[in-house]
Structures are given as C-alpha cells and as structure tokens.
Copies of this chain bind each other. A is one copy, B any other.
Amino acid sequence: MSKKITFDYWQHLYSNRTENMFSSEIRDLLSLSARPDIISFAGGLPEVRALSFQKLERYIKRILKADGDISLQYGGSDGYYPLRTKLIEVMKLEGLDVVEEDIITTTGGQQALDLLAKVFINTGDTIIVESPAYTGALNSFKSYEAKIIEIPVDDNGINILILEERLKELEKKKIQVKFIYLVPNFSNPSGITLSLLRRKKILELAKKYRTIILEDNPYGMLRYEGKSLPTIKELDTKGDNQNVIYLSTLSKLLAPGLRIGWIVAPHPILEKIMLGVQSTILCVSAFTQRIAYEYFSDPSWYENIDRFISIYSRRRDVMIKTLEDTFPKSASWSKPKGGFFIWLKLPEYLNTKEILADAVRNKVAYVPGSGFYADDRGLSEARLAFCTENTERIEKGIKILSRIVKEKIKLYKSFK
C-alpha cells in the first residue's frame, strides 16, 4: 500500500492553519530520549516508576469488579463526576475552593489548551504569552492562527511594566487581547515563579483590559523550597467577573499515560468548552478517569507527592550543583524552586540547535530554546529537564554538555 508520494497531490486541499503547525521540537526529541543509551534532559517525563504498580493493579481489579461496564462505556462530556470531587481536594491543597460544576476534565493539559484556544481565538486574534513559553501552548495557539505577543520574563516572572505598556498600546489600536497565557509556578520552560506582587498586578490589568488570564499550573504541588504562593485564581475575588481560567493536569501528580487534565472556568465559558469536548473527542476516557478516581481515593497519594518531591528536588540539586561546578562563567541558568525545568543561557554566539547534534552524538539530549518562542529567538538558550534521569546520569550528562560547550567557546574564540 504505502506508495511513495513524489509530490503533494493534496496541496490544494489543506487548510491555512496547517502552515502554522510546526512539529514540536520536544515531541521529535522524545523519540531520542526513549533510547536508553541517551541521557535525556529533553522531554519532561515524570518518574512514574515511583508509583506502586501493585496498588494500580488493585484499583483496576476493583473497577472491573464494581463497574466495569460503566468505565468501559462512553462517559459524560463534562467528565467523571466523582473524579471531579477528588480534583477539588487536590486543588484545595493549592488554596482553591471550587465545586464539581466549575470543573471539566480533558485529555491531558494539552487538550485544555486546545479547547480554550478553540473557544477564544479567531484567525488573527491577539493573545499574550510569557516568553519563553511552553511549546505545546504555542503550537496550539498557532494552529488557531493567533497573533502571539510575547512578554519577556525575568527572575520574578513576566515583566509587568512591558505587559502594561503593550496592553495600553493595543487598547489604543482597539485590539482586544483574548487572553494572557501564564505558567506562574516553576514555569515550563523557564523554571521561574511569578511573584505575589506581580500576580496581583496582572489580575488588575486583566480586569482593566477586560481580558482573561489562562493560569496553567501543572507543577504547583511540586515545590522543593520556599513558601507556596496563592494562585491567581485564588486572588480573583473582586467583582462578579472571574477573569482567571485555571488549568492543570494529572500527568505530573499521577501519570501522563492516563491523559487527564482539567479546566476550572466560569460556567458560561465551561458550557462552550463542553461543546468543544463533544466535537473533538466526545468524552475523556471513562476508564482512565475511573483509575484516577481510585488513585486519589487512596490517602497514600499524599505520600506519593512527597516521594515525587524528594526525588525531583535531589535531581534538581545535582543538576544545579554540576552546572555550577563545571559550566563556564559565560553561561547562566535559572534556579527553579520546583517543577521540572532549568533554563540555560549560553553566550549569544553559540547555537543550541547546532550543539544538540554534538550532544546527541555524545549521548545527551535537551531541547533547544527556539521552540519556546513564537518567532526564532532563543537560539543560544536551552531547556534542561531534571525530572527524568537519576542523579548519577544527571551529573554525567551535565559534565558531557559542559565539555562540549567549552569546546565550542574555545573554537569560537580561536576564530575571532
């Protein structure tokens, strides 16, 4: 079957949006990181081996016995109600107070982003993102042909002064910003956390300019030091209008393989999102939602979070220490207080895409920075995931990277 196609016969049939859909560098590299001989700082793969597979087996046994027929059947478009009750408990730990009717479950956090883009973005609509921003979010927003405005982050998160300036300019031009997309806690990819002051300020700005904040919080519960900050959603108490849509995922708290995320939004918006669920997937897997329900019904899930924190914080410590011990002074990196990622900045004359080829030859992978910008910036930057490899391999991998970077710097200077 699979005939060789020498030209693309279907060119006249594709939608315009396909021109804006680029393959995610993260996804392409996941194929590399799957090779056991590669030390992967590429994909943010959680340590699912820290889960008890025996317990999972027991949950599933119980499910098939108690209501296999329901969990193997189609489910409701708003998600499995008892799981939503459990998600309320999860969110309580983040300081949120919501009810089941405020929540809709999705096929992972990525579908939450896609559904929100579907509900808000017309071709050419303006949205704002922190910069660098999560590739998956950029991919989704691009596929809806949004005009993406990037506001740089510093050590305290998105730059509020620049944000306010841009919002003012846009208002003058009568351009409505559809939403502002943020990962306030230990952002993907920067690892940076938005300060409390800025959380308050950005909420004010959203209200003033009548726009929405998409608060994406996959890593909030994975904090390794310091005191947790209130979510922007929690701060949004003034007036009748809720300007924050909160989204998260079970990929980091349980397992990505179950593909469960969720959205908390005002009801009129949820209604539109639910129509989006119906037209895109009909419903989220009743079976994996049922498994997640069992998982969060077993109090041992709290201990699992502690276990995750203990594993990831050690990995972070080793990665930062090895960076400090071995990397040249001309490089810098973020020091995340939680989450999965460190953002690395090399001297501007270095290209992390080029270096990746060398790195992979030496059995180390990471994600070049350019994928986290809507344009082609970030060429000398890179995302390092410390969540996936054990401390020994992290130390080894960073040392290899350091050697390659030093060689590149030496080579550059010898030509100068």
Contact = CB atoms under 8 A, between A and B. Distances in A.
A362 interface: no
Interface stretch (A70-78, A186-194, A338-346): A70-78
Nearest to A55: B64
B278 A24 contact: yes
A254 to B, nearest CB: 8
A414 interface: no
Given A13-B179, A282-B136, A257 B71 contact: yes
A1 B279 contact: no
19 contacts: A1-B97, A2-B102, A5-B240, A9-B241, A13-B178, A14-B119, A15-B125, A18-B119, A21-B275, A43-B74, A48-B69, A53-B64, A53-B65, A74-B257, A110-B282, A142-B279, A256-B286, A258-B285, A281-B281
A168 interface: no
A17 B119 CA distance: 7
A162 interface: no
A280 B110 contact: yes
Interface residues of A, number: 102
Interface in A137-167: 139-140, 142-144
Interface in A244-299: 251, 255-259, 266-269, 272, 274-276, 278-288
Contacts of A212: 10, 13
A45 interface: yes
A74 B142 CA distance: 22
A6 B266 CA distance: 12
A60 interface: yes
A56 interface: yes
A280 B282 contact: no
Q: Which of A12, A212, A282 has the most CB of B within 10 A?
A: A282
A61 interface: yes
A124 to B, nearest CB: 11
A165 to B, nearest CB: 22
A5 B142 CA distance: 31
B72 A45 contact: no
Given A2-B267, A21-B275, A30-B74, A114 B281 contact: yes
Interface in A340-388: none
B45 A73 contact: yes
Nearest to A264: B1
B75 A257 contact: yes
Contacts of A23: 274-275, 278
Given A74-B257, A111-B280, 8 more contacts: A2-B267, A5-B240, A13-B212, A15-B122, A72-B255, A75-B257, A259-B281, A259-B284
A176 to B, nearest CB: 6
B73 A257 contact: yes
A57 B61 contact: yes
A118 B98 contact: no
Nearest to A3: B240
Interface in A170-213: 176, 178-179, 210-212
A274 to B, nearest CB: 8
A396 interface: no
